[in-house]
Structure 1
Amino acid sequence: MTQRARLIYNPTSGNEGMKRYVADILDVMEQAGYESSAYQTTPEPFSAKKEASRATLDGFDLIVAAGGDGTINEVVNGIAPHRHRPKMAIIPAGTTNDYARALAIPREDPVAAAKVILAGQTLRMDIGKANKHYFMNIAAGGLLTELTYGVPSEFKSIFGYFAYVMKGAEMLPAIKQFPIHLEYDDGVYDGPASMFLLAMTNSIGGFEQIVPDSSLGDGKFSLIVVKTAKLPEYLVLMGKVLNGGRHVDDPNIIYTKTQNLVVTREDGEELKINLDGDYGGSAPMTFQNLRQHIEMYANVSEIPDGNIADDAAQQDYLQEVETISESDINGDGKIGK
């Protein structure tokens, strides 16, 4: 049976350069054995999400998301709620491209990124659920995490990653603590914080040392809570991040692994939540890690071994899912062990 693939691309991504590559990307998808077609996103809200959901329900075998982290997040939100989910591939064309960085996918050449599909290497990736929304890389709350809302899209297109750096430097002096209540697998935290991060890869805002022991597909978030709001202490923490990820042992940091998290702001003020770089609602919010929820094409051979969950653990989990769902997910002709 012929397998079908749908390319969902954002024509405004990459300084509006993505449109030039569509024909070549479709050609690569055809070379990989997929009967391929394309959908260009529109100004209509959530058009990428709606098309991804439609293609999933229509039985497509692969959905390729081409654009920035926002477009990729929409496609994930279109796929994730469904019981039967197609494989997914990403072609980055945004500013920081955190997810592509984590999967070792070329970030400067869309056609080279598409050719990752030809290699046939995939990973079953965790997906985060935040109330009714989904995210694939990071959730965060606190003033500094709101910096993406204040960077105009044209500024991001021109200056790229440095747009975020400059905006972050501008906001550092305004950081304040707020009372937060966190419930996670190993405990509860009630106290002051200036920011929390919930990550699933080692790439956050272009930095790869914020979550130094990230493991793809392990079913756990990396939770980081920054308790201080003092500028000198923030600068020390940033220095430790750049010096091998030593911030995780700092007394101003809570660093732990968890599958679940409940976040509440205790003073009644709004706490905006950032999901994959965009506004995702406000606390209170409940987070759940959906282990190995979507199979992604990746340059697996280029990802350090320590950044991928143990193969045996992945296989055991897959067999459990097959038994529960009574489905042959990995195509080996067996269900479960």
Structure 2
Amino acid sequence: MKRARLIYNPTSGREQVRKQLPFILERLENAGYETSAHATTGKDCAKRAAEKACQNKFDLIIAAGGDGTINEVVNGMAEMEVRPRLGIIPAGTTNDFARALHIPREVNEACEVLCNGRIQSVDIGKVETQYFINIAGGGTLTELTYEVPSRLKTMMGQVAYYVKGFEKLPRIKPSNVTIEYDGKWFEGEIMLFLVSNTNSVGGFEKLAPKAYLNDGLFDLLILKKTNLADVVRLVSAAMRGEHIKDESVIYVQASRIKVHSEQEMQLNLDGEYGGVLPGEFVNLHNHIEMIVPDKDLACFQRLY
């Protein structure tokens, strides 16, 4: 019998995973998995649990929670010699990564994907000693995801980010950076940069429209120095995927990216605080195997 380890955040998504834990375990048992569960208790708990699951040679690790929980699990798996397959039960506020994979938020439907989905290799990103699977970035606007209190996220959902965003808009300041990407250079003042692995970022599903999870490339988006009115206009354009045509935006693909900032710039990794720059972002091609819906997905490049 195959073995699965469920690593879940008991407070995510109005505690829906905790409340439906008996159903999840029974559904996985019926699918042929001897399943055990681990409830996280704080920072890096999911990372340590994932490391232990790899060491114990589980067949499947399931990250149940938000993007932060998935990030910790990926960080726990990334350097292990034996890496089980990864599955997801989305239970966070924005669920960017799960949205890119079209994994449903409903627990019973997410379990159907785990039990009847297909196996797909995916890229992950590495920056110095840390890993990310969906997005990395820097700049004032990228700090929103870890500045919104967890209680406010639970109460208001994704609206909490917009509330915090409007608070920060008047205080957005450019940073002077040097960005090298696959031998090319950008130097100048920027409002933010994003290193994306999927098209789903911060609730926007067209922010990196050319992104694939299995092509060995990041999608790099740089917003050059601009005024507040243009920032608001570009946010609106990003909802339609039209921002990449704007002269204030650089949108390219690269497998290796180096960023240096003259001012202190915090790093955001999958919505969590990742320290400060400088940093070098490296794409680890097809590093982890995942269980995804058994259908054609726009986030994967067809290799046939």
Fold shared, TM-score > 0.5 on shorter chain: yes
Q: Which amino acid aligns with 2:40?
A: T
Structure 2 counterpart of 1:14: 13
Structure 1 counterpart of 2:64: 66
| Partner secondary structure for residue 153 of structure 2 | helix
Q: State the distance in 2 between where 1:69 and 1:137 align.
A: 9
Cα offset, 1:302, TM superposition: 5.5
Cα offset, 1:233, TM superposition: 1.4
Structure 2 counterpart of 1:310: 302
Q: CA RMSD in A?
A: 1.3
The answer to whether structure 1 residue 265 and structure 2 residue 261 are counterparts is: yes
CA contact (8 A) 1:89 1:296 kept: yes
User: Where do 1:28-39 residues align within 5 Å?
Assistant: 28-39=27-38
CA contact (8 A) 1:99 1:137 kept: yes
Structure 2 counterpart of 1:248: 244
CA contact (8 A) 1:104 1:300 kept: no
Q: State the distance in 2 between where 1:29 and 1:78 align.
A: 22
Cα offset, 1:311, TM superposition: 2.5
User: Where do 1:121-132 residues align within 5 Å?
Assistant: 121-132=118-129
Structure 2 counterpart of 1:90: 88
Structure 2 counterpart of 1:76: 74
User: Where do 1:115-126 residues align within 5 Å?
Assistant: 115-126=112-123
CA contact (8 A) 2:226 2:248 kept: no
Cα offset, 1:40, TM superposition: 1.1
Q: State the distance in 2 between where 1:63 and 1:265 align.
A: 37
Structure 1 counterpart of 2:285: 291
CA contact (8 A) 1:67 1:94 kept: yes
Q: Which amino acid aligns with 2:76?
A: G
CA contact (8 A) 2:216 2:286 kept: yes
Name whichever of 168-177 and 221-230 sits farther off. 168-177
Q: State the distance in 2 between where 1:236 and 1:79 align.
A: 40
CA contact (8 A) 1:265 1:283 kept: yes
Q: Which amino acid aligns with 1:42?
A: T
TM-score under structure 1 length normalisation: 0.87
| Partner secondary structure for residue 295 of structure 2 | helix
| Partner secondary structure for residue 194 of structure 1 | strand
Match of 2:222 among 222, 225, 232: 225
Q: Deviations over 1:69-103 (max 9, x none)?
A: 11111111111111221100010111000011011
Structure 1 counterpart of 2:271: 277
Cα offset, 1:204, TM superposition: 0.6
CA contact (8 A) 2:118 2:294 kept: yes
| Partner secondary structure for residue 301 of structure 1 | coil
Cα offset, 1:271, TM superposition: 0.7
Structure 2 counterpart of 1:105: 103
Q: State the distance in 2 between where 1:112 and 1:177 align.
A: 43
CA contact (8 A) 2:267 2:273 kept: yes
CA contact (8 A) 1:137 1:201 kept: yes
* Higher RCO by CA contacts (8 Å cutoff, separation 6 or greater): 2
Larger Rg: 1
Q: Which amino acid aligns with 1:118?
A: C
The answer to whether structure 1 residue 141 and structure 2 residue 138 are counterparts is: yes
Q: Which amino acid aligns with 1:31?
A: N
CA contact (8 A) 1:127 1:294 kept: yes
TM-score under structure 2 length normalisation: 0.96
Cα offset, 1:186, TM superposition: 4.6
| Partner secondary structure for residue 105 of structure 1 | coil
Q: Deviations over 1:269-309 (max 9, x none)?
A: 311000010100110111111111111111141623xx311
Q: State the distance in 1 between where 2:150 and 2:115 align.
A: 32
Structure 2 counterpart of 1:234: 231
CA contact (8 A) 2:50 2:73 kept: yes
Q: Which amino acid aligns with 1:310?
A: R
Q: How many residues align?
A: 304
User: Where do 1:192-207 residues align within 5 Å?
Assistant: 192-207=189-204
Report % sequence identity.
Answer: 47
Structure 2 counterpart of 1:157: 154
CA contact (8 A) 1:143 1:176 kept: yes
Name whichever of 154-163 and 34-43 sits farther off. 34-43
